[in-house]
Amino acid sequence: MKSNSHTENKNIPLKKIEKCLKGTRFNEIKRIEETGSTNADLVLRASEAPDDIVLVTDHQTDGKGRLGRVWESPKGLNLLCSFLLTPKWAKDKNPLVTSALALGVVDYLSTIGVSALVKWPNDIVIPERDNKKISGILAEQVEGEVERIVVGIGFNISWPTSSQEGPLDAISLKMLGATFDRWTVLAGIIENFEKQLKLLEELNGAALLRRSLIAHSATIGNQVRVETANNIIVGFAKDLTEEGFLVVNDGNQDLQVNAGDVVNLRKKI
Ligand code: BTN
């Protein structure tokens, strides 16, 4: 695994990475010291900020996770950022923005020697460490005169430092023995996210992303338990649709799930 020796420089980090925006759709990286939630901030700004931008913070006091959960992270240790996007694709591809970011993160991690997979729908996990979660993604669609999408990512860089800290299923780059500063990771993620968004824009973008998601899935091929808002499904996770739905065969029929929590019951071999 590669490592870099940068210690974080509080004064110049953004200047250092702003050049990574060249050739991407993002015009600016804004950094704020503390906020409630970078996703909530961008949702509020969506109607007035015409550009696609990146908002990064050192600390969130009300970080939002999927399904109404809280995303916790101590100040200054992990990457907490959100992207404000103007879709350049058909509306039915909007849910795939989460997948594009997830695949961008997996691709970035592979460039630093970390093998990661996507646990449906949007967790980035480390298969060699019992599928512990290194990153989570939350996307929100903002309706208005111009439709916008806000997609946020929490990425564990320096916290937790051991399995005694943080959520039980969490892991960080530091726990994997990699020392990276937040700005280097952010630059790598932006670059790889942009590549995936360009794929999404292609006519067969949904098919391309589906293929890549299946190839990098920690879920497909496993016996799973899926907890949805009003149901529990136990069965074989056999496929993903181009809309990003999980297809589970419960022994009788194929069921398509669009949201839920997955527990892997038996791993694929
Ligand atoms: C999840 O795994 O449940 C999704 C977590 C998403 C957390 C990120 S941190 C930056 C952005 N702002 C938020 O309030 N949430 C996302």
* Distance, CA of 220 to CA of 217 (rounded, Å): 6
User: In this predicted structure, what is the pLDDT of residue 1?
Assistant: 57
Which phi and psi angles does 227 have, rounded to 5°? -100, 115
Ligand 1 center to 138 CA (angstroms): 5
CB 59 near ligand 1, within 6 Å: no
Ligand 1 center to 140 CA (angstroms): 11
User: In this predicted structure, what is the pLDDT of residue 83?
Assistant: 98
CB 225 within 8 A of CB 265: yes
How far from chain centre, in Å, is Cα 37?
15
CB 63 near ligand 1, within 6 Å: yes
Ligand 1 atom 9: the closest Cα is on which residue? 154
User: In this predicted structure, what is the pLDDT of residue 17?
Assistant: 84
User: In this predicted structure, what is the pLDDT of residue 14?
Assistant: 74
73 CA: nearest ligand 1 atom: 9
Per-residue pLDDT of the chain (269 residues), as tens digits, is 554 434 444 555 677 788 899 999 999 999 999 999 999 999 999 988 889 999 999 999 999 999 899 999 999 999 999 999 999 999 999 999 999 999 999 999 999 999 999 999 999 999 999 999 999 999 999 998 899 999 999 999 999 999 999 899 999 999 999 999 999 999 999 999 999 999 999 999 999 999 999 999 999 999 999 999 889 999 999 999 999 999 999 999 999 999 999 999 976 55
* Distance, CA of 213 to CA of 219 (rounded, Å): 10
CB 82 near ligand 1, within 6 Å: yes
CB 200 near ligand 1, within 6 Å: no
Ligand 1 center to 250 CA (angstroms): 31
CB 205 near ligand 1, within 6 Å: no
User: In this predicted structure, what is the pLDDT of residue 15?
Assistant: 76
Sorted by sequence, the CB contacts under 8 Å of residue 116 that are 6+ apart come out as 105, 106, 109, 110, 124, 125, 126, 127, 134, 216
Ligand 1 center to 253 CA (angstroms): 34
Q: Which amino acid is at 140?
A: E
Ligand 1 center to 65 CA (angstroms): 5
User: In this predicted structure, what is the pLDDT of residue 267?
Assistant: 65
Ligand 1 center to 252 CA (angstroms): 36
CB 167 near ligand 1, within 6 Å: no
CB 138 near ligand 1, within 6 Å: yes
